Amino acid sequence: SYQKHIRNFSIIAHIDHGKSTLADRIIENTGLVAHRDMKEQFLDNMDLERERGITIKLQTTRLVYKAKNGEEYIFNLIDTPGHVDFTYEVSRSLAACEGAVLIVDATQGVEAQTLANVYLALDENLEIIPTLNKIDLASARPDEVKLEIEDIIGIDAENAPLVSAKEGIGIEDLLEAIVAQVPAPSGSIEGKLKALIFDSYYDNYKGVVIYTRVFDGRVKKGDMIRMMNTKKKYEVTEVGVCSPGPVACKELRAGEVGYICASIKQVADARVGDTITLDADPTEESLPGYKKVQSMVYCGIYPAEGEKYENVKDALEKLQVNDAAFNFEAETSQALGFGFRCGFLGLLHMEIIVERLEREFNLAVITTSPSVIYRVVLNNGEIQMIQNPSNLPKLTEISYIEEPIVKADIMIPKEYVGAIMELCQDRRGKMIHMEYITETRVQLHYEMPLNEVIYDFFDALKSKTRGYGSLDYEFIRYERSQVVKLDVLLNKDLVDAFSMIVHESKAYARGKFVCEKLKEIIPMHQFEVPIQAAIGQKIIARETVRAYRKDVIAKCYGGDISRKKKLLEKQKEGKKRMRQFGTVEVPQEAFTAVLKYD
């Protein structure tokens, strides 16, 4: 049957081990795209992604490969996002496959996300093809890394293809291994339609384009489909394959991968992980693993001085249409006025959205301190999920607060164990255990509050290990914790946008840090500006921005006219990027500067 010649697979790897480069090579070697048409990094299609060198949105490509046995195979290469923030999306795209090419950088060896991705692939019962990349480099040590794969992951790596994605070495071996080792799809074309949504994007003309893997049955234009979990119904307007641009076809059958359009207005209506079936003849059971992605990190996004609220709202709506994991609602801040509370999968996701607002929509925005969601239990037994520090109920009403805990797996060369254990301890981590995965490399397993991870833990890990440390984490539970709300007062006025929830043991250090940082950033005023950090009524830290000295002002007025003009110009420039809080002017950078600590 046609299924015998289909291979559905993903490439999984730790960040920077060469996934995108290899994908490009595979596309090139399967001959569908002429070399001159290849844009660098074919699969990563957003500018931001390219700049940051990470894959955020999935892309899928259908390729034709003529194997050494003379037969033609259809390869559906399903890309996976390469960052811990997107684990659920990775797991759903793997669920669309029968196999996974596991790339390991032959100079680096197995890393935290190599393992995390392997576990996801094993959960989906995928055939894993270990592949060593970057063998062109003098520092490559393929034999050692093979042993590492066998020891750590427990899969046979003896015959792992040795490739250089960059130089195009060994690609053929890999393609043959895919033909030989990845199982062909099974599934019945006569069965009731069962198709997995593993990605989607919004197209201005077609509406939402769903990437799907059909497991049973068939789907074509005109069919009335139903989403099993959201229960929404749509009429199919087009089905097709990604080659890599959309190419319409008559139908998609069991085992095939392609896209479906059905005039769907936003990606949230076609949720990743949901099962598509026919409304008239539905399957009984949806595919396993559906879950609604939960935002883990929240922050406020506000128009900066001179920016229009409506413009920011429009942009956020546009972003949301294309990103089901991003959500927002209106909120007001005493300090910043009208704005939005936004939810993200993680800090990287947040940074990406903010950057897109600035770059693609040309907007100036202010973001408040990111916060995790706290579970607040009140004295009367009521439970509130709080994502905005300003909404924390009065202390007297609170019985206790719980915070989200993650399981963090950290992989490092052994010489950094001391430094990283110290770092984790400082971040309130609890060590679960530690294991030597090779003679020189160690994996540390910690439980750590998410709150500590979102404040630049990853940067700290990288800098303390000279870039060699890697991290993977996932939410495990809520745990009771002594957290408090830390407020910032400027000239005695509370500025709610700076409020944050911190652990009691960190409050003093954090309060001091924030005051010192703000002192550096807030310009001199005509009067003295006290900067205070407080918990409730109690001031725990204080700094002061001194007032202008009289003679400075006098000088200005006394000077020649052109100099005065220049000064005024300069002041105006500065104004634009300032926010007025009561009597105090704060530059925009203050909001991000207080978040970094180390």
Annotated binding site for GTP: 16-21, 133-136
Taking CB under 6 A as the rule, does residue 533 contact ligand GTP? no
- Residue whose CB is less far from ligand GTP, 312 or 347: 347
Q: How far is the CB of 305 from ligand GTP (least distance, A)?
A: 36
Q: Which is nearer to ligand GTP, 53 or 536 (CB)?
A: 53
Alpha carbon distance 65, 210 (integer Å): 25
Looking at 164, 286, 320, 465, which residue binds ligand GTP (CB under 6 A)?
164
Residue range at the interface with ligand GTP (CB under 6 A); choices 161-169, 181-189, 427-435, 487-495: 161-169
User: Is residue 19 involved in binding ligand GTP (CB under 6 A)?
Assistant: yes
Segment contacting ligand GTP (CB under 6 A): 133-141, 213-221, 307-315, 486-494? 133-141
CB contact set of 503 (below 8 Å; sequence gap of 6+)? 428, 449, 451, 452, 481, 482, 483, 484
Q: How far is CA 229 from CA 125, 192, 391, 433, in A?
A: 23, 16, 32, 38
Least gap, CB of 377 to ligand GTP (angstroms): 40
* Binding of residue 20 to ligand GTP (CB under 6 A): yes
Which helix (H) or strand (E) element contains residue 432?
A: strand 430-436
- 207: alpha, beta or left, given left = phi > 0 and alpha = psi -120 to 50? left
**Residue 274 to residue 260: CA distance in whole angstroms:** 14
Burial label for 67, CB within 10 Å (0-12, 13-18, 19+), is middle
CA–CA separation, 571 vs 381, rounded Å? 53
Candidates 134-142, 227-235, 254-262, 323-331: pick the segment binding ligand GTP (CB under 6 A).
Answer: 134-142
Bridge partner list, 72: 66
The reply to whether omega before 530 is within 30° of 0 (cis) is no
Q: Which is nearer to ligand GTP, 171 or 365 (CB)?
A: 171
Q: Is 16 in the site for ligand GTP (CB under 6 A)?
A: yes
Subset of residues 404 to 433 that bind ligand GTP, contact rule: CB under 6 A? none
Q: How far is the CB of 593 from ligand GTP (least distance, A)?
A: 27
The CA-to-CA distance between both ends of the chain, in Å, stands at 60
Residues in binding contact with ligand GTP, number by CB under 6 A: 19
Interface positions, 77-106, toward ligand GTP (CB under 6 A): 82
Alpha-helix runs per DSSP H in 283-382:
309-321, 347-359
- Taking the complex as a whole, the smallest distance from the CB of residue 134 to ligand GTP amounts, in Å, to 4
Residues that constitute the known binding site: 16-21, 133-136
Alpha carbon 518 to its chain centroid, in Å, reads 29
CB of 175 to ligand GTP, least distance (A): 16
Smaller CB separation from ligand GTP, 53 or 337: 53
DSSP string, 105-128: ETTT---HHHHHHHHHHHHTT-EE
Within 10 Å of residue 585's Cβ, how many Cβ atoms? 17
Give the residue with the Cβ less far from ligand GTP, 52 or 192.
52
**165 lines the binding site for ligand GTP (CB under 6 A):** yes
Closest CB to ligand GTP among 79 and 98? 79
**Residues of this chain, 44-73, that bind ligand GTP according to CB under 6 A:** 53-55
Tell which one of 133, 277, 465, 499 touches ligand GTP (CB under 6 A). 133
Which is nearest to 58 in space by CA: 77, 35, 33?
Answer: 77
Which residue of this chain has its Cβ atom nearest to ligand GTP in the complex? 82
Q: What is the three-class DSSP state of 290?
A: coil
| One-letter amino acid of 332 | T
Report yes or no: 390 and 499 within 8 Å, Cβ to Cβ: yes
User: Under the criterion CB under 6 A, does residue 137 sit at the interface with ligand GTP?
Assistant: yes
The residue among 165 and 276 lying less far from ligand GTP, judged by its C-beta, is: 165
Q: Which stretch binds ligand GTP (CB under 6 A): 8-16, 441-449, 466-474, 568-576?
A: 8-16
Question: Exactly one of 15, 147, 184, 189 binds ligand GTP (CB under 6 A); which one?
Answer: 15
Are residues 428 and 450 in contact, defined by beta-carbon separation less than 8 angstroms? no
Query: Is 218 in contact with 201 (CB distance < 8 Å)?
Result: no
Nearer to ligand GTP, 41 or 384 (CB): 41
Question: Residue 87 is inside which H or E element, if any?
Answer: helix 87-95
Of 107 and 391, nearer to ligand GTP (C-beta) is 107
Q: Near ligand GTP by CB under 6 A, which window of 160-168, 303-311, 396-404, 475-483?
A: 160-168
Contact 177, 132 (CB under 8 A): no
The footprint of ligand GTP (CB under 6 A) covers 13, 15-21, 53-55, 82, 133-134, 136-137, 164-166
